[in-house]
Structure 1
Amino acid sequence: MLTTLLFLSASTVFNSHLPPLLPWQGDSLALMQDEGPLTTVFELSQGKRSPDYLQTMDFVDRLVAANPTQFTIKNIGYSHSQRAIKMLVANEHGHFTAKELQHSKKPTLLIQAGIHSGEIDGKDAGFMLLRDIATGKRRDLLKKVNILFIPILNVDGHERSSAFNRINQRGPSKMGFRTNANNLNLNRDYTKLDTPEIKSVLEVINEFNPDLYVDIHVTDGADYQYDVTYGYNPVFASESPAVSSVLDTLFKPTIDNALTKKGHIPGPLVFVMDKREFSKGLAGWVATPRFSNGWGDLKSLPTILVENHSLKPYKQRVLGTYVFLDGAIEALSLHSQQLQDAVDKEQSFVPKELVVQRRYSKTADKIAFKGIEYAKSFNELSGQQEVTYLGKVKNYTDLSIYWQKEVVTTVTVPKAFLIPPVYSDIVQKLKLHGVEVTQLSGANTQPLKQAVVTEHTFASAPFEGRFRVSASFDLIAATNMNLDGWYSVETQQAAGELAVHLLHPEAPDSFFSWGEFNTLFQRTEYMENYALLPYAKKMLESDPNLAAQFKKKIDEDSTFANDADARLQWLYQHSPFYDSHYLKYPILMSFEQPPIILNQKDKEI
């Protein structure tokens, strides 16, 4: 048994279970140094190791000590285990407040590493880049941009370190875990905001208003030649198409050119439709707002998701990330005005209708793709055909790619959402999202609509700690509403599209869908037959129309006619004793002009 464990340990650490590699000897190897006080753990280990949390925080301190005039440390929050989440702020001319940095003539780049802490390439690449700035080797970079760098976002998952956390990833020798200490995936939390880590990031974005947000991951799945893949929602599916177009036409060529010159192969952010049959084509994913890049798309915050290829060696991936960041800085420096113009355009426009759900098209586009040759054979362990990648180049000239082009759900954008005062926690989350919220005082001056659940389904298992719910709705008039103390969220604002995704109950990443309003499915008052029946008799006698409806339902619906409980329930529902709030979504919608605010209370709750 011990021999088996030793064998398994060695085979995993040295990656003997993974597909063969293509040879690589990129010019980016020259970026590494092997001596000096700011040589990283990654470099000292020849590209095999990544520092633990304490070593990481120590290196942050050393960077600042080496260049205190341009580097500062900001503590942006704490994990549930009370580990500090730190961010390094780098700018050319000394210490700036966040407001001063926002008004800097240079654009600001936010680099986020370790949201999935097993995918930690960004930390070690960022340290090398900042070290080269601190020591004067890359003094040019801070002449181009200001940099915000979060080396580890998922600090608790980072310390759940093991050689056995990701079976399909080549290094580092030990790596952190995907989720945080509460087993929540931070890159599924951008709408519901259950984690202190993502709340900290949103606070940074609100405070510093970065011009470009880069979120660095490592992907999995099929084998292919690309070592650095990255992307953003494509123009056809983007809610900020002008921003996506600038990233596509101006940023991507600059970044791709930098990577290619240094011996890396940049590629598109795509997945495979069938992991056992690569030739069936690629899946063109469109991120929803639970993900960083989907959230950024709705906010008109230019966001690039980097997904380095897990089967490439750690050294190659980290060096590719360094080059990617160098290219992104160059692109941001060259094209910041075009990007800002696109952001301004998108933030000033909110459509009348908004797509909130898509699915993969049945019709494929065709692209060239740098794949890896593979063979298929029957595997006795799985009992089915399995893929074996052979480590040989296979270039596809017209591989099918299926984008999420098919629209499933479109909603009409209301003029405003009206939130009852009891949901102040939702208001706080909206403000963290950068959504403008105002408090009302006085009587309602407009017609309002309320969504009523007609059918609903709860998920059979929890996802990200919550039982999600999907539902269909009728929209009814909400009458006799006193809006004194309520909150208004107008959709014609910079974060208006995001507000719709958060507050419209039909949106799959809304607060409703994540279970924030599950109490509306509870009935807490019930009837007794001995009380209901005599009351119902008098009710029907006094209301001939209602009596006719009851008789018609009995005559036309035999199931209803033969079900005593259903008949009693119908009578109870039509009585004034029935819970008027049951199955009604408490956030109201206005499709007219926004409500008149007689006394706006601009205060924090």
Structure 2
Amino acid sequence: MKRLFLVIFFFIAVSCWAQQTPYELSNKRETTTYAEAIKFYEGLAKNHPKQAKLFTYGSTDFGKPLHLVVLSKNGVFDPSLIKKADRRILLINNGIHPGEPEGIDASMMFARDLLKANQLPDNVVICIIPVYNIDGSHDRTGTSRANQNGPIAYGFRGNSKNYDLNRDFIKTDSKNSEAFQQIFNTWQPEIFVDTHTSNGADYQYTMTLIPTQKDKLNPILANYLTKTMVPDLYSQMKAKGFELIPYVNSIGETPETGITGFIEYPRYSTGYSALHNTIGFMPETHMLKSFDKRVESTYKLLFAYKDIVVRDAKIIGENKRKADEYTAKQNEFALDWKLNRNVYDSIEFKGYTAKYKPSEISGIDRLYYDRNEPFTKTIKYWNNFEPSLKVNKPVAYVIPKAWDKVIALLKLNNVKMQQLASDIKLDLDTYYIGDMKTSTRAYEGHYQHSAVNVNTVKQNIQFYEGDYVVYVNQFSNRYIVETLEPQAIDSFFNWNFFDSILGQKEGYSGYAFEDTAADLLKKNPSLKAKLDAEKLKNPEFAKSARMQLDFVYKNSDYFEKTTMRYPIGRLMQNTKLNLK
């Protein structure tokens, strides 16, 4: 009998030990590796086959597929059936920056504890990406985040192509981004959480929070976010021992000067999710707090998200439906934003006194925070953003089939597209790129454009069988407009997708074109008048034979009309088209 008891005890002990995460087994000093995380979730799925399933999607630049853990109480793992059953989907993304690994470890314990206690909700399906930046997670050191307090070793911010994946959600240079978008647009979450660790000032809080910027979120969703979800997260986390504060984005050297909200452009994960009317959150634990407290706060925050989504599942689903319907009918879209510095809130902030002392390196005064002098102060919080640029949508965009990467990304994002069944000339609005700025240093592999001005010209353009028509009457309207309008901050144009249009392909020999130009002026009095007017207006032009000859050339049929012309047309009338 004693032997039987010992055998039973041994197997129970082994079972309990096997359920521990590497983080727990290390006495909360180490973060889980990619291989350990996948092995752990494979074990969960094996032990709970009716409620947990591990999927793989696409590939990453590291050559591994992207994994997705799905926790579903009733054993339904088909996203279309889950939607039909009116169940919500909460998607949690971890390790986009593997040096910020708290979410990796917290999610493993979160999933295990829900399954172990048989506490999966009836009305919410929980999806977890164990490690998004698989590439960077393999590049482990304990030094790449110089200011961070643990763990012992962790991954690197850049992926194997040295991309910051939290800048890649529009341009999609990485296979990681493509695989993520497969997951996102297959499962279509109502709530999205992307776990991070902060940099910056020192203060008393372990966890800061960036919700989707309220002013750029659909108003229906923003109302629920600001009046219900965020206040409830703050309340729950305070009761759990981890008070929240907005992400500490100081306007001056220290937080007492005030902080501003964060405007997450579509290149960022939560900016991307907002294009799809998904409420997003970027929790940022404080780098200087101990690793175990950072993991614990993330773990408790995940439960807070789960509890709120379970409680408000009906209203969250209804809000998403209304927001999608609103977006499909929406006419005017914001393309860029600016902070209103005239409007601010006053919030309580718990910090540490900022002081200065001579640097041991330079001898010049340096900043430090004195943890022996904590304080609670009221500070200013600027978090009101206004559109700085708007555009009215066309009836449809017409996209030549040659621009295959654009077409592939639109399809990946569930944009409904149709193809022309025959060649046709269409009267539509075209953009000519005017003034713009181009960065002189590469940013995430691109020399980005910005401050783009366009000139709209009505033209009759030839399109061909197989070219694409995208009607702007669908749930994906924000993604469509904010990627296809070249003036938008994260448009495909600004990410250099169309740089080939910026170069002129043909030219002329001056001595040969002189006679042609003279003949053009004789036959075209309006062109002659236009040339004379430019001479009167511009003394430098009047003295330059080369500039005048070039003027005639560029105002003639000899000059190619495609130079600087954005290739995607804006169909402004509901023209009947022969579509496949």
TM-score, normalised to structure 2, is 0.92
Q: Which residue is equivalent to 1:422?
A: 402
Secondary structure in 1 matching 2:326: coil
8 A Cα contact 1:34 1:43, kept in partner: no
Deviation at 1:232? 2.1
Q: How far apart are the structure 2 equivalents of 1:509 and 1:464? A: 13
Secondary structure in 2 matching 1:429: helix
Secondary structure in 2 matching 1:322: helix
**TM-aligned CA distance change 1:552 to 1:125, over 3 Å:** same
Q: Which residue is equivalent to 1:177?
A: 156
| Correspondent of 1:322 among 299, 305, 308 | 299
Deviation at 1:294? 1.3
Q: Which residue is equivalent to 1:271?
A: 249
Secondary structure in 2 matching 1:579: coil
Q: Which residue is equivalent to 2:282?
A: 305
| Correspondent of 1:262 among 227, 237, 240 | 240
Q: How far apart are the structure 2 equivalents of 1:146 and 1:67? A: 15
Q: How far apart are the structure 2 equivalents of 1:154 and 1:301? A: 22
Query: Does residue 546 of structure 1 match 2:527?
Result: yes
Q: Which residue is equivalent to 1:222?
A: 201
**TM-aligned CA distance change 1:98 to 1:473, over 3 Å:** same
| Correspondent of 2:366 among 383, 386, 389 | 386
Letter of the 1:74 counterpart: F
Deviation at 1:65? 2.4
8 A Cα contact 2:91 2:128, kept in partner: yes
Q: How far apart are the structure 1 equivalents of 2:424 and 2:410? A: 22
**TM-aligned CA distance change 1:484 to 1:596, over 3 Å:** farther
| Residue identity (%) | 26
Deviation at 1:187? 1.0
Q: Which residue is equivalent to 2:448?
A: 468
Q: State the Cα deviation string for residues 444-483 of structure 1 (Å, max 9, x = none).
A: 6974101111223221011111111132111010215345
Q: State the Cα deviation string for residues 406-438 of structure 1 (Å, max 9, x = none).
A: 432222222221111211321111111222222
Deviation at 1:35? 5.9
**TM-aligned CA distance change 1:383 to 1:524, over 3 Å:** farther
8 A Cα contact 2:30 2:152, kept in partner: yes
Residue segments in structure 1 that go unaligned for 5+ positions in a row: 1-32
Query: Does residue 477 of structure 1 match 2:477?
Result: no
8 A Cα contact 2:427 2:571, kept in partner: yes
Q: How far apart are the structure 2 equivalents of 1:457 and 1:234? A: 26
8 A Cα contact 1:101 1:208, kept in partner: no
| Correspondent of 1:437 among 396, 399, 417 | 417
| Correspondent of 1:587 among 568, 573, 576 | 568
Deviation at 1:124? 0.3
Alignment of structure 1 residues 43-122 onto 2, 5 Å:
43-94=24-75, 96-122=77-103
Query: Does residue 556 of structure 1 match 2:537?
Result: yes
Deviation at 1:317? 1.0
Deviation at 1:383? 7.1
Q: How far apart are the structure 2 equivalents of 1:279 and 1:324? A: 26
Q: Which residue is equivalent to 2:172?
A: 193
Q: How far apart are the structure 2 equivalents of 1:378 and 1:284? A: 33
Letter of the 1:430 counterpart: L
Q: Which residue is equivalent to 2:315?
A: 338
Secondary structure in 2 matching 1:479: strand
| Correspondent of 1:571 among 552, 562, 577 | 552
Q: How far apart are the structure 2 equivalents of 1:157 and 1:406? A: 36
Deviation at 1:251? 2.3
Secondary structure in 1 matching 2:402: helix
Q: How far apart are the structure 2 equivalents of 1:309 and 1:103? A: 40
Deviation at 1:230? 1.9
Deviation at 1:492? 2.0
**TM-aligned CA distance change 1:408 to 1:105, over 3 Å:** closer
Letter of the 2:224 counterpart: V
Greater displacement, 460-469 / 82-91? 82-91
Q: How far apart are the structure 2 equivalents of 1:591 and 1:385? A: 61
Q: How far apart are the structure 1 equivalents of 2:446 and 2:272? A: 20
Letter of the 2:166 counterpart: N
8 A Cα contact 1:72 1:95, kept in partner: no
Q: Which residue is equivalent to 2:383?
A: 403
8 A Cα contact 2:425 2:460, kept in partner: no
Letter of the 2:188 counterpart: N
Q: Which residue is equivalent to 1:207?
A: 186
8 A Cα contact 2:335 2:488, kept in partner: yes
Q: How far apart are the structure 2 equivalents of 1:400 and 1:74? A: 45
Q: How far apart are the structure 2 equivalents of 1:253 and 1:243? A: 14
Report the RMSD for the aligned CA atoms in angstroms. Answer: 2.1
| Correspondent of 1:360 among 332, 339, 344 | 339
**TM-aligned CA distance change 1:219 to 1:107, over 3 Å:** same
Q: How many equivalent residue pairs?
A: 562
Query: Does residue 452 of structure 1 match 2:444?
Result: no
Secondary structure in 2 matching 1:418: strand
8 A Cα contact 1:445 1:596, kept in partner: no
Q: Which residue is equivalent to 2:8?
A: none
Secondary structure in 2 matching 1:455: coil
Secondary structure in 2 matching 1:272: coil
Q: How far apart are the structure 2 equivalents of 1:228 and 1:510? A: 32
8 A Cα contact 2:213 2:264, kept in partner: no
Letter of the 2:74 counterpart: H
**TM-aligned CA distance change 1:384 to 1:408, over 3 Å:** farther
8 A Cα contact 1:71 1:95, kept in partner: no
Q: How far apart are the structure 1 equivalents of 2:138 and 2:114? A: 28
Secondary structure in 2 matching 1:349: helix
8 A Cα contact 1:102 1:210, kept in partner: no
Q: How far apart are the structure 1 equivalents of 2:295 and 2:336? A: 35
Secondary structure in 2 matching 1:148: strand
Letter of the 1:158 counterpart: S
Q: State the Cα deviation string for residues 128-178 of structure 1 (Å, max 9, x = none).
A: 1112133x23x2234452111111000000111100011122121111111
Letter of the 2:571 counterpart: S
Secondary structure in 1 matching 2:189: coil
Q: How far apart are the structure 2 equivalents of 1:478 and 1:131? A: 61
Q: Which residue is equivalent to 1:242?
A: 220
Alignment of structure 1 residues 500-511 onto 2, 5 Å:
500-511=481-492
Deviation at 1:443? 6.7
Greater displacement, 577-586 / 264-273? 264-273
**TM-aligned CA distance change 1:61 to 1:563, over 3 Å:** same
Q: How far apart are the structure 1 equivalents of 2:16 and 2:30? A: 16
Q: Which residue is equivalent to 2:474?
A: 493
Q: How far apart are the structure 2 equivalents of 1:108 and 1:144? A: 9
